Amino acid sequence: MPPVVKKTLRNRWFVAGVHACLWLLLYLTVTHLGGKAPDYRGADAAPNPLQSPAPVAGLEGLFSPSVWPRSLNETNTLNPFFTRYFVPPTPPPPTTRKIQVTYQGFYQSGAGLKQTIFKLDEAYGVAPIGARITNDLFIADVTIHALTLTNLAAQTNIVPLNAKKEIIIPIQ
């Protein structure tokens, strides 16, 4: 709050003036400000009985099935609210798909190549470094902690040990 407003609100004369105005307003509302109460009189009895403002006798026919129009789907006529002119084109077939690769580890026997153990979607596989595991995915490197996959465009994917990773590959 700005200091000017704080100073005004803490002023004793301002507070006393607001207090006096509130007492004056209370006094004027209690003394009715010169108004008077409305005149009350007894109501005259009507000779006719009162009628219901809503005709409830006709509601039964309103909701019967014979009153409503038939569905437009049952006819062969054209509907002005539906057209076949603005039918969107069919989307092109997908060019990529997602696969899940889980790196399970590797083993090496003697002076042989490292054999990588992996899970491709739900199928387990064993392949050496450099082998193709899908149509566009090759095993580039394998360590204790991660499997490095690459494709023909030299894009690499690193799959950590025992963790599923989704990889997008082209459909051929």
The total number of structural domains in the chain stands at 2
Which range of residues forms the domain containing residue 133? 96-170
Q: pLDDT tens digit string along 60-95?
A: 777 777 777 766 565 566 667 777 777 788 899 999
CATH of the domain at 114: 2.30.30
pTM of the model: 0.48
Domain assignment present for 37: no
Mean pLDDT of the chain: 83
96-108 residue pLDDT tens: 889 999 999 999 9
Give the distance, in angstroms, between the CA of residue 15 and the centroid of all CA atoms in the same chain: 52
Longest dimension (CA), the chain: 118
Close Cβ partners of 126 (under 8 Å, ≥ 6 residues apart): 115, 116, 117, 118
137 lies in some domain? yes
Which residues share a beta bridge with 165? 101
- Quick check: is 39 in a domain? no
Residues in the chain: 172
Indicate the pLDDT class of residue 22, thresholds 50, 70 and 90: very high
